[in-house]
């Protein structure tokens, strides 16, 4: 090992990194301010609910009377400004949590509207747009409409107003993050505007926000601008890199209860669900989440500036205000996508020796490549990069438990891209 340069990063890449770091100092100051505010918000909730060592004890079997689990629900509700919340390791991923929210909010004969185009790929099977698996919303007689974004990648506000006025519309899904689309991530303010449009035209429709990748990036959450439910994954932002699995739903009490009945069964709902010794990780992860999210946002900003200096297009740009942890980079060719993901994988603390290759992942309509050398399998709050292998060959970067490690991963990705020029 070279003690001065243990990873063998070239002088050219180090020079680019120094320039990028100088160019984004103002962004970092803003990110730190947000992290400080959100840390205080989380700390206040912990103190209000008198978090104690006894909350960390786990339960087995049915999980009745799990005080730590039940108090964590209240803490999430406090932080997100909602009537109720459901935080459970029994949610296998964010898609499962969102599906539970949708099944709880909709009955046969009613209609779901997606407000900003098609939702994330894995939700299409839940809705029944793709696949023939049993149990989709479609198979239960629940209709679906989507309001596509405009040609300039903006929400179609007039189209949304018209769509929610249609008979039978009882739920509207707003996806905060871009998923695998090329539109910009929605700010909380923009989500609030869309919610106002829905409520003005259909007061009875429940607005459900897919909040994945967005928690703690701003100082307010969609639940504080009118969302009836917000939903997310614990192996993304709110788990702080420590939660081993799980998801959350926060919002109106009746809708949270209905989702709990779909997570388990009617008549049992949230009363069962053992925590198996994971409470400490969920609490500590939530406490760390504002800081960890800030590390991921800094990593994304640095990644954007590095790629810009190398001549690639980014969304958002390195100077734009962030609304989630995802950074999109247009690499234009499948070879460049594979090189970038190889570099990110080589900068991982786990499985750094693995070479990511595209494969047919369940729930996607084309091969997907994923670089993710994570302590928690699939944890998007840890440094990772993935891309659908289709034009325009755009890679989606997210995560970074610490900024120095995230920065290093991006420098190694830059090395891989530069090798193609040699």
Tens of pLDDT, residues 159-182: 999 999 999 999 999 999 988 888
Average pLDDT for residues 349-371, to the nearest whole number?
90
Q: Which residue has the tokens 């539109």?
A: 183
Buried b (16+ CB within 10 A) or exposed e, 157-168: eebbbebbeeee
Give pLDDT, residue 362: 74
Question: Could you tell me the pLDDT band of residue 422, with boundaries at 50, 70 and 90?
Answer: low
Predicted pLDDT of residue 421: 74
Q: What is the pLDDT of residue 1?
A: 62
Look at residue 131 in the predicted model and tell me its pLDDT.
79
Query: Quick one: pLDDT band at residue 4, thresholds 50, 70, 90?
Result: confident
Rounded to two decimals, what is the model's pTM? 0.96
Residues composing the chain: 422
Q: What is the pLDDT of residue 181?
A: 83
- Per-residue pLDDT band at 325 (split at 50, 70, 90): very high
Residues with Cβ within 8 Å of 149's Cβ and at least 6 positions away in sequence, in order, are: 116, 117, 155, 156, 181, 183
Over residues 290-301, the pLDDT tens digits come to: 999 999 999 999
Q: What percent of the chain has pLDDT over 90?
A: 92
> Could you tell me which of 174, 240, 158 has the C-alpha nearest to residue 208?
174
Find out whether 232 and 248 touch, Cβ atoms under 8 Å: yes
Count Cβ neighbours within 10 Å for each residue of 223-235 and write b for 16 or more, e otherwise: bebbbbbbbbbbb
364 pLDDT more than 80: no
Does position 329 have pLDDT exceeding 90, yes or no?
A: yes
pLDDT grade for 407, boundaries at 50, 70 and 90: very high
pLDDT tens column, 107-150: 999 999 999 999 998 899 999 998 788 999 999 999 999 999 99
| Long-range contacts from 14-17, C-beta under 8 angstroms, 24+ separation | 14/411, 16/306, 16/309, 16/310, 16/414, 17/302, 17/306, 17/407, 17/411, 17/414
């Amino acid at each position: 090992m070279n003690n001065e340069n243990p990873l063998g990063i070239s002088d050219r890449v180090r020079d680019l990194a120094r320039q990028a770091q100088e160019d984004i100092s103002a962004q970092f100051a803003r990110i730190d301010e947000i992290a400080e505010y959100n840390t205080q918000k989380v700390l206040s909730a912990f103190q209000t609910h008198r978090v104690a060592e006894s909350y960390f004890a786990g339960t087995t079997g049915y999980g009745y009377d799990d005080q730590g689990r039940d108090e964590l629900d209240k803490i999430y509700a406090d932080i997100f400004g909602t009537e109720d919340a459901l935080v459970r390791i029994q949610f296998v991923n964010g898609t499962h949590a969102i599906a539970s929210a949708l099944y709880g909010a909709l009955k046969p004969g009613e209609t779901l509207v997606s407000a900003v185009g098609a939702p994330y790929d894995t939700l299409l099977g839940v809705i029944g747009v793709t696949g023939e698996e049993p149990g989709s919303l479609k198979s239960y007689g629940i209709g679906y409409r989507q309001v596509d974004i405009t040609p300039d990648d903006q929400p179609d506000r007039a189209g949304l107003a018209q769509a929610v006025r249609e008979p039978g519309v009882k739920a509207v899904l707003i996806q905060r993050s871009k998923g695998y689309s090329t539109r910009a991530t929605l700010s909380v303010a923009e989500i609030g505007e869309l919610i106002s449009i829905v409520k003005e035209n259909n007061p009875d429709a429940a607005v459900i926000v897919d909040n994945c990748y967005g928690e703690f990036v701003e100082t307010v959450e969609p639940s504080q601008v009118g969302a009836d439910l917000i939903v997310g994954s614990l192996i993304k932002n709110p788990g702080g890199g420590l939660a081993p699995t799980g998801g959350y739903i926060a919002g109106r009490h009746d809708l949270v209860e209905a989702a709990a009945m779909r997570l388990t069964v009617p008549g049992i709902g949230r009363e069962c669900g053992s925590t198996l010794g994971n409470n400490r990780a969920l609490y500590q992860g939530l406490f760390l989440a504002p800081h960890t999210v800030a590390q991921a946002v800094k990593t994304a900003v640095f990644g954007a500036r590095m790629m810009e200096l190398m001549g690639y297009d980014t969304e958002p740009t390195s100077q734009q205000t962030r609304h989630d942890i995802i950074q999109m980079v247009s690499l234009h060719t499948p070879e460049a996508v594979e090189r970038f993901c190889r570099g990110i994988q080589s900068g991982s603390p786990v499985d750094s020796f693995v070479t990511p290759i595209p494969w047919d992942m369940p729930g996607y309509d084309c091969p997907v490549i994923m670089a993710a050398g994570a302590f928690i399998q699939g944890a998007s709050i840890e440094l990772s990069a993935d891309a659908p292998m289709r034009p325009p060959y755009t890679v989606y970067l997210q995560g970074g438990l610490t900024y120095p490690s995230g920065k290093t991963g991006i420098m190694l990705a830059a090395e891989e891209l530069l090798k193609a020029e040699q």
